[in-house]
Amino acid sequence: IRSTTVPNVDGSNNTEDDDEDDVVDLAANSLLNKLIRQSLVESSHRVEVLQKDPSSPLYSVKTFEELRLKEELLKGIYAMGFNRPSKIQEMALPMMLAHPPQNLIAQSQSGTGKTAAFVLAMLSRVNTLELFPQCLCLAPTYELALQTGRVVERMGKFCVDVQVMYAIRGNHIPRGTDVTKQIIIGTPGTVLDWCFKRKLIDLTKIRVFVLDEADVMIDTQGFSDQSIRIQRALPSECQMLLFSATFEDSVWQFAERIIPDPNVIKLRKEELTLNNIRQYYVLCENRKDKYQALCNIYGGITIGQAIIFCQTRRNAKWLTVEMMQDGHQVSLLSGELTVDQRASIIQRFRDGKEKVLITTNVCARGIDVKQVTIVVNFDLPVNQAEEPDYETYLHRIGRTGRFGKKGLAFNMIEVDKLPLLMKIQDHFNSSIKQLDPEDMDEIE
């Protein structure tokens, strides 16, 4: 695959284009997820399928060969190291590649193989002899568009005549340019501009339309309406596909407005549980005292890797400095970092370059804690009303029941915060034992 017209974008947010104004954390989190993802995310749940025509046979595939793909595409898939379709792909791919094309709404958590699935669908439907846009993919930000484009380029490595173009701000195409690239990936605002104002893309010739990250999309002002305007101009035989990691009512309503007669596929997320986590708390007087307790724990047991959560950036910074001065190898992950910086810190941590990662709430969600044996709440998670933030507690400490290993969690508690901890204990109906930090024998 060749990709010309690599956009020249600077990554800053101050632009006159209203395209990516107001980019919310959802998009940043999603990008971070993609940057740090190394493999498929598993789920023990079954894929739920709702067919638009329940009487038609339901196909699923266990191998990529069964899909009768073009040779060069199959080669691309294997070159990416894929051996067999993921759970969601088993059901989604036969629908997406069916003749006549079927529309699809698919929801499954990030990392389950949605992008790979629709990229495969786009690549398999491109006619390389035709030099005009045939597939259109909308993404919420230009960074996410580029990520998808990279997957197209990798999977399409052997599809030498397929070309990708990015309709994103900063990619200036001279007026009157004849766009010959078959796959267009872009953000709604710029795509709208290219289609209606600048007439660079003829929507009536598009045969696959993908709306990716629908949940992030509807969270961005104006993107739903712009997407719908684009969709309205597509031919009725165009295949329409929508993907989302989450599925609140608002996403569902949007999906139903934009995808006519859809099949629906859902894969529920693996729930987090505290069952296989031993939880402890240490009563402390103040911050220094908490730090001392932390050092005792650290010295008292063999620790693989640990994540320490603080409630504020300031606390996180303070703790990082303290630990560094005491000779520990720690790194700090906090909200003021760019997504790329966060990704690189997480990567270093995964590679074992640092044994301790100190972080704030902002970043808690993006991290896969599989290899981490210990989680420390240096501060308890609380919400604005100073009530316990149960969800965050679960996200920091919980593991998925089937895939998670056993873990240890320590809460550093100032005496006046003890009632909060008790509430957390009651809420999850799981015991949090008090620990004397001078006596680590209690743990093992």
Nearest to 159 by CA among 133, 183, 193: 183
Q: How far is CA 108 from CA 46, 76, 301, 316, in A?
A: 11, 24, 38, 33
Helix (H, G, I), strand (E, B) or coil at 359: strand
Q: Are 183 and 126 in contact (CB under 8 A)?
A: yes
Binding pattern to ligand ADP, positions 199-228, x when CB under 6 A? ------------------------------
- H/E element holding 362? helix 361-364
Strands (E), 140-202: 164-167, 183-186
Identify the residue among 114, 169, 290, 342 touching ligand ADP (CB under 6 A). Answer: 114
**Cα Rg, the chain, nearest whole Å:** 24
Q: Would you give the DSSP letter of residue 42?
A: P
Q: In the block, which residue shows the tokens 């199959």?
A: 74
Asked if residue 138 lies in contact with residue 228, where contact means CB atoms within 8 angstroms, the answer is no
- Nearest approach, Cβ of 277 to ligand ADP (angstroms)? 26
Least distance (Å) from ligand ADP to the CB of residue 114?
3
Work out how close the CB of 402 gets to ligand ADP at its nearest, in angstroms, rounded to a whole number: 18
One of 12, 13, 14, 39 touching ligand ADP (CB under 6 A) = 39
330-333 vs 272-273, strand pairing mode:
unpaired
- Region binding ligand ADP by CB under 6 A among candidate stretches 33-41, 129-137, 228-236, 432-440: 33-41
Find the binding residues for ligand ADP in span 419-438 (CB under 6 A): none
Contact window for ligand ADP (CB under 6 A) among 34-42, 290-298, 376-384, 389-397: 34-42
Shortest approach of ligand ADP to residue 442 CB, angstroms?
41
Written as one string, the DSSP assignment of 218-250 is HTSTTHHHHHHHHHHTS-TTSEEEEEES---HH
- We find the least distance from the C-beta atom of residue 351 to ligand ADP, in angstroms, to be 17
CB of 245 to ligand ADP, least distance (A): 7
Q: How far apart are alpha carbons 68 and 316 in whole angstroms?
A: 53
Positions 52 through 111 that interact with ligand ADP (CB under 6 A): 80, 82, 85-86, 89, 110-111
Q: Indicate which single residue of 102, 112, 134, 171 sits in contact with ligand ADP (rule: CB under 6 A).
A: 112
For residue 101, give the amino acid letter: P
Helices (H) and strands (E) in the chain, counts: 15, 17
Nearer to ligand ADP, 267 or 408 (CB): 267
**For residues 78 and 352, which CB has a smaller minimum distance to ligand ADP in the complex?**
78
Two tokens at 211?
């709306």
User: Of the candidates 29, 103, 107, 115, which one interacts with ligand ADP according to CB under 6 A?
Assistant: 115
Q: Which is nearer to ligand ADP, 109 or 305 (CB)?
A: 109
Integer Cα distance of 46 and 87 in angstroms: 8
Nearest CA to 311 out of 384, 374, 247, 259 is that of 384
Candidate ranges 114-122, 187-195, 332-340, 424-432; the one touching ligand ADP (CB under 6 A) = 114-122
> Around Cβ 241, how many Cβ atoms within 10 Å?
27
Give residues 326-345 in contact with ligand ADP (rule: CB under 6 A): none
Name which position in 26, 27, 116, 234 contacts ligand ADP (CB under 6 A): 116
Q: Kindly tell me which of 82 and 132 has the beta carbon lying closer to ligand ADP.
A: 82
Nearest approach, Cβ of residue 51 and ligand ADP (Å): 21
Q: Give the nearest distance from C-beta 237 to ligand ADP in angstroms.
A: 26
Residues that bind ligand ADP (CB under 6 A): 37, 39-40, 80, 82, 85-86, 89, 110-116
